[in-house]
Structure 1
Amino acid sequence: MKGLDHLLSAVSRSFYLSMRFLPREMRPGVAVGYLLARATDTVADAVDMDCRERLALLRMMGETVAGSASREVAATCFGRLGVLSTIQTHRGEAELLARFPECLALLENLSPHERMLVRQVLASIVEGQAWDLMYFESHAAVSCPEQLEHYTYMVAGCVGEFWTRLGLLAQGPGFSTQPEEQLLRWGRHYGMGLQLVNILRDREEDLARGRSYLPAPDDRPWLDRAERWLKEGVFYAESLRNGRLRFSTVLPAWLGLDTLELLQRADRRHPSSGKVKIARGDVYLRMWKAFLFSWKEAL
């Protein structure tokens, strides 16, 4: 697709930079999966649309990605995305929605196995996004730990599994020193940990919107769980044989752990304005350490 690099950089500079470090054979599947997931996420977050309209559009997008939508459903989906793109304030997201049919064409150009993996992960992500919209229409808070874990799996843990299966498909035994079962577990928890960091970081903002993803006021157990899961992400990265993959995989884990440290140090009685954010200099330092890490021998 013409302008794919531009589109990726327009919707996420950090992801675009990380993707450029991936082995060439993994880039198409990862890029297409990311663009499709970012498009559905944009619809899920479209606050100017009624919740039922967003749910209906999400389901149509899910059907088109799965390849099960009729021509009429696909045409309706593309038309509604086109209209939504005209009112998006984020230029990159507006372009992404308008070019959603081109993203689907990219999906069709993948190998059958890659296409199946992308469809599987998108089905889970859309299910999680739809659950989010429906649940908070009638609830103010997640009711139990199991519910939160299931949600973090649907929208992020499944991505760790997708990454693992795609890497094994592309590189075979050269992907990692660890067996597939171990990698799937680490990858699943890694993705869930990253999502949990987002939830913890955005907690005050979500409360202001009348929702809480944490089933209890005390966030300490979830801080601890997020730390444990992110450390599994570091174990995952240490097992990878390819230096480029090691760099791309370990960096989000380290930045997530840094974010948790900032959250743990924050004075809950006097919360600072805005989100906890890692300083740019610290991000560059982590990138340098990740570069050095990429040269280490796989464990």
Structure 2
Amino acid sequence: MTSQPSIDDAQYQDHILQGVSRTFALTIPQLPETLRRVIGNAYLLCRITDTIEDDSALTNEQTRQLSDMFAEVVCGNASAEEFAHQLYPLLSAHTIPAEHDLIKNTPAVIRVTHSFNPVQRRALERCVRIMAKGMADYQETESLDGLKDLPAMNEYCYYVAGVVGEMLTELFCDYSEEINRHKPALMKLSVSFGQGLQMTNILKDIWDDRKRGACWLPQDIFLKNGFDLRDLRPGISDEKFQAGLAELLAVAKGHLQNALTYTSMIPPKEKGIRKFCLWAIGMAILTLNKINQHRDFSEGAQVKISRRSVKATIVTTSLFASHDWILELLFRLTSRNLPLAGLHNEALPEIR
């Protein structure tokens, strides 16, 4: 059963989005009005799930229990107030103030969630359920040794981002019959789109993740190049490590090429959805370029793209959002210095 969220709940959602994500606070307003609220809400649900996984004060058992509970809250089978009451006092200073506020106000977010139509709600529920379980599974095996191999990295990226791509595609298809005609192809490409963005984050955050005892890089890629991830140290200039990094940059570039194919399948008249996708692709490519230029970087700030670059990406992609051939040319030009794209993982993770 759907109901209109109160003005206060809707305003809270708009307000807290600014606090927990500068990027999505920029991109979500580009979407058609009927999609803004549901995708803004979807982002907040994912952020709550992520907060449970990321807070170092929680034990694995607490993380698992709270993740499961939150999935039930989203589905309407558990109390949002009780969830907030349990999690909020456990949060550490590691979790930013805006996320503390978000957890405290989970009931307001959930009231908005429960106002959506059945198709939208199913998409959100499925995403949170898969993400919560998958992230809790991986957190239990978190270490500095890295993941076993590239397929394990693919699976991790699916739980964190690929499933979000599928959810967004469901929402786009529900919004537009024209988009819905391409649903099977879009659903497959959406997993690759999510993986490209997540791999960019993993490569950018190598050192921040290591500080908290995690490494999401695949051992097999580095061992093949003669480097053991257990020997990884900040500022390392080991050519073998950098060779492994180059391979992952190539894989990420290939996924972002798929992301552009995905975007080109959105009707040109849907400029808002295209911009939402293109801004994410553009910023990811610029980040990969910075990592490629500074393969010996030792902290995330060294490969963070400038505000000027962000503005240039926004202006350029907005100008040419409806022109596929220009977008393809821009992609080729901006990614030309990255290692040659050759997807090592043609078989995308089939997790349902």
State the TM-score, normalizing by the size of structure 1: 0.89
Aligned to 2:168: 163
CA distance in 1, matches of 2:194, 2:101: 27
- Is the CA contact 2:13–2:109 (under 8 Å) kept in the aligned structure 1? no
Aligned to 1:288: 315
- Is the CA contact 1:88–1:94 (under 8 Å) kept in the aligned structure 2? no
- Give the SS at the match of 2:45: helix
CA distance in 1, matches of 2:308, 2:81: 47
What is the CA-CA distance between 1:204 and the residue it aligns to? 2.5
Aligned to 2:71: 62
Relative to structure 1, the CA distance from residue 245 to residue 253 in structure 2 (aligned partners, 3 Å threshold; closer, same or farther) is same
CA distance in 2, matches of 1:182, 1:251: 21
Relative to structure 1, the CA distance from residue 292 to residue 75 in structure 2 (aligned partners, 3 Å threshold; closer, same or farther) is closer
Q: What amino acid sits opposite 1:7 in the alignment? A: I
Alignment of structure 1 residues 2-151 onto 2, 5 Å:
2-69=11-78, 76-84=82-90, 90-136=96-142, 140-151=145-156
CA distance in 2, matches of 1:267, 1:10: 31
CA distance in 2, matches of 1:272, 1:160: 30
CA distance in 1, matches of 2:185, 2:95: 42
- Is the CA contact 2:245–2:295 (under 8 Å) kept in the aligned structure 1? no
Relative to structure 1, the CA distance from residue 84 to residue 211 in structure 2 (aligned partners, 3 Å threshold; closer, same or farther) is closer
CA distance in 2, matches of 1:87, 1:76: 22
Aligned to 2:261: 235
- Give the SS at the match of 2:61: helix
41-50 or 190-199, which deviates more: 41-50
CA distance in 1, matches of 2:76, 2:110: 9
Alignment of structure 1 residues 154-233 onto 2, 5 Å:
154-173=159-178, 175=179, 179-216=182-219, 217=222, 218-233=244-259
Q: What amino acid sits opposite 2:148 in the alignment? A: S
Q: What amino acid sits opposite 1:54 in the alignment? A: T
What is the CA-CA distance between 1:206 and the residue it aligns to? 2.5
What is the CA-CA distance between 1:265 and the residue it aligns to? 1.3
- Is the CA contact 2:74–2:125 (under 8 Å) kept in the aligned structure 1? yes
Q: Structure 2 stretches of 5 or more lacking a match? A: 1-8, 223-243, 328-352
Q: Structure 1 stretches of 5 or more lacking a match? A: none
What is the CA-CA distance between 1:238 and the residue it aligns to? 2.1
- Is the CA contact 1:55–1:133 (under 8 Å) kept in the aligned structure 2? no
What is the CA-CA distance between 1:267 and the residue it aligns to? 4.1
Q: What amino acid sits opposite 1:229 in the alignment? A: H
**Which of 252, 261, 267 is matched with 2:280 structurally?**
252
Relative to structure 1, the CA distance from residue 27 to residue 267 in structure 2 (aligned partners, 3 Å threshold; closer, same or farther) is closer
State the TM-score, normalizing by the size of structure 2: 0.77
- Give the SS at the match of 2:141: helix
Relative to structure 1, the CA distance from residue 147 to residue 297 in structure 2 (aligned partners, 3 Å threshold; closer, same or farther) is closer
Per-residue CA deviation, residues 29-48 of structure 1 (Å, 9 max, x unaligned), is 21111111101111211112
Relative to structure 1, the CA distance from residue 121 to residue 239 in structure 2 (aligned partners, 3 Å threshold; closer, same or farther) is same
What is the CA-CA distance between 1:113 and the residue it aligns to? 1.0
- Give the SS at the match of 1:3: helix
- Give the SS at the match of 2:142: helix
Per-residue CA deviation, residues 92-116 of structure 1 (Å, 9 max, x unaligned), is 1111101111211111110111101
Instruction: Give the root-mean-square deviation of aligned CA atoms.
Output: 2.2
Aligned to 1:278: 305
Q: What amino acid sits opposite 1:294 in the alignment? A: A
- Is the CA contact 1:28–1:110 (under 8 Å) kept in the aligned structure 2? no
- Give the SS at the match of 2:51: helix
Q: What amino acid sits opposite 1:101 in the alignment? A: P
What is the CA-CA distance between 1:159 and the residue it aligns to? 1.1
Q: What amino acid sits opposite 1:100 in the alignment? A: T
CA distance in 1, matches of 2:69, 2:76: 11
What is the CA-CA distance between 1:288 and the residue it aligns to? 0.4
Relative to structure 1, the CA distance from residue 89 to residue 163 in structure 2 (aligned partners, 3 Å threshold; closer, same or farther) is closer
Q: How many residues align?
A: 291
- Is the CA contact 1:9–1:16 (under 8 Å) kept in the aligned structure 2? yes
- Is the CA contact 1:40–1:126 (under 8 Å) kept in the aligned structure 2? yes
CA distance in 2, matches of 1:125, 1:215: 20
